[in-house]
Structure 1
């Protein structure tokens, strides 16, 4: 994480803030898409997250926790979107989304995690795709570190079982 960019952004340097957000865009997309499951809602969550981070950056006490702080805000934005959608009744079907090769790896990862129980999915994503350790994940998700560790272990077991089944069925 670039401490200098964070310090400059906190002092009101808009270019530094934009560069900081650009560095985090891929991480934000992976997390948002795994939560909300479609590009439009992921884009909305990311946009809301960037605005919220910009407005509240001065409240960040320790610069080294910037990414943890930002991801926690993003997860809350995703939850807000899901709650709003649960209150809405959709009458039209969504048009099919075009395929973008640049997003293939993220989509493939999201597809692999899709069958996982929700309580394991985000922990596995944050640990393996974003490189957070169990202590950081416990802070982001506001749960005990021991809970994160046990859910990570159970998530790994679920993935292994799913993979073994696909190998036995000849689907891999």
Structure 2
């Protein structure tokens, strides 16, 4: 017997059981699917914004991702990989938009998140990510802000895990150097 109420997907402590929501969504429970999307909306926005320039294009990519996830969630083999699977779909949608020749560009603006949703250190980190090349920025974002490990990032970005580890290391070094230059007021652009 589960301690998670059927309609809310929350435990008695208010902690969301994502695996239970995924199982219910796979059974075409619309409320569970909506809750999953609500829980992941900020993550989807941050990832899409790292690829696409304006909010309209980001919204289109997220909307397409939600539709595909709803249609294909039954194909997901393991519930614990839901977020990885969803982010992979989102990245593919962003890349599709870029490849279609739409007026979409890589952006220096990572994201705009209301202040109450992020602490100051995270906001400063996100702001400083703008000065790092996109191939490092995406990996740093997924690793530090989204909590994915290098294996998961390699699956999401369809890169060799060693490549992800190398880019993570180089991205850290580049980030540190640029951070120090910013702190000294030298500028780094």
Check 1:45–1:107 CA distance in 2 against 1; reply closer, same or farther (3 A cut): farther
TM-score normalised by the chain length of structure 1: 0.84
The runs of 5 or more residues in structure 1 that have no matched partner are 90-99
> 1-side partners of 2:103 and 2:55: how far apart?
18
> For residue 75 of structure 2, what is the aligned residue in structure 1?
59
Cα gap change, 1:37 to 1:113, in 2 (>3 Å): farther
The one of 86, 102, 106 aligned to 2:114: 102
Aligned-partner Cα distance in 2 for 1:45–1:102: 21
Distance 2:19 2:126 in 1: 30
Unmatched runs of 5 consecutive residues or more in structure 2? 1-16, 105-111
1:83-162 aligned at under 5 Å gives the runs: 83-84=99-100, 86=101, 102=114, 110-162=126-178
Partner of 2:182: 166
Contact in 1 for aligned 2:128/2:179 (Cα 8 Å): no
Write the deviation string for residues 84-135 of structure 1: whole angstroms up to 9, x where unpaired.
Answer: 3x3559xxxxxxxxxx772795886554222322211110000001000111
Q: CA offset at residue 169 of structure 1?
A: 1.7
Alpha-carbon shift at residue 165 of structure 1 (Å): 0.9
Note if 1:70 corresponds to 2:86.
yes
* Distance change >3 Å, CA 101–CA 24, structure 1 → 2: closer
Secondary structure of 2:159 counterpart: coil
Superposed displacement of residue 140, structure 1: 0.8
Greater RCO (CA < 8 Å, at least 6 residues apart): 1
> Judging changes above 3 Å, is the alpha-carbon distance between structure 1 residues 101 and 140 closer, same or farther for their aligned structure 2 residues?
closer
Aligned residue-pair number: 160
- TM-align CA RMSD: 2.3
In structure 2, the CA distance between the partners of 1:109 and 1:53, relative to structure 1 (3 Å rule), is farther
The 10-residue stretch of structure 1 (34-43 or 54-63) with the greater mean CA deviation from structure 2: 34-43
Inter-CA distance 153–28: structure 2 relative to 1 (3 Å threshold): same
The structure whose residues are more often helix, as a share, is 1
Alignment check: 8 A CA contact 1:34 1:110 kept:
no
TM-score normalised according to structure 2 size? 0.77
1:6 to 8, 22, 42: 22
